[in-house]
Amino acid sequence: MPHTAREKAKLLARVRRIRGQVEAIERALESEAGCADVLHLLAASRGAMNGLMAEVIEDHVREHVAADDLSAAARAEGTSELLDVIRAYLK
């Protein structure tokens, strides 16, 4: 999916940070942390996941919908894939 090694490394770093945030939620729940603390951790991990989703969507649009060298069929396929993901994401 990532179109360059730099993008792949950047996306994987984001995923690793998200994993750390989810593990922090697990630790907070295991230690019976306060509701406010758990909610803050949940909000942070949700924001991180949304940021990752936005970055991948942007990359998809640039490479599979808006790139100048795409055929009409490839552009239509990229658009269809994007719309399917957005519909699932918004449910």
Task: Please determine, for residue 2, whether its predicted confidence score (pLDDT) is greater than 70.
Answer: no
Query: pTM for this one?
Result: 0.83
Alpha carbons 31 and 24: distance in angstroms, whole number: 10
Alpha carbons 75 and 80: distance in angstroms, whole number: 9
pLDDT of residue 89: 85
pLDDT of residue 7: 86
Q: What is the pLDDT of residues 15-66, one digit of tens each?
A: 999 999 999 999 999 999 999 999 999 999 999 999 999 999 998 999 899 9
* Residues belonging to the chain: 91
Domains and CATH numbers, the chain: 5-90 (1.20.58.1000)
Q: With helix as H, strand as E and coil as C, how does the chain read?
A: CCCCHHHHHHHHHHHHHHHHHHHHHHHHHHCCCCHHHHHHHHHHHHHHHHHHHHHHHHHHHHHHCCCCCCCHHHHHHHHHHHHHHHHHHHC
Between residues 90 and 47, which one has the greater pLDDT?
Answer: 47
pLDDT of residue 42: 98
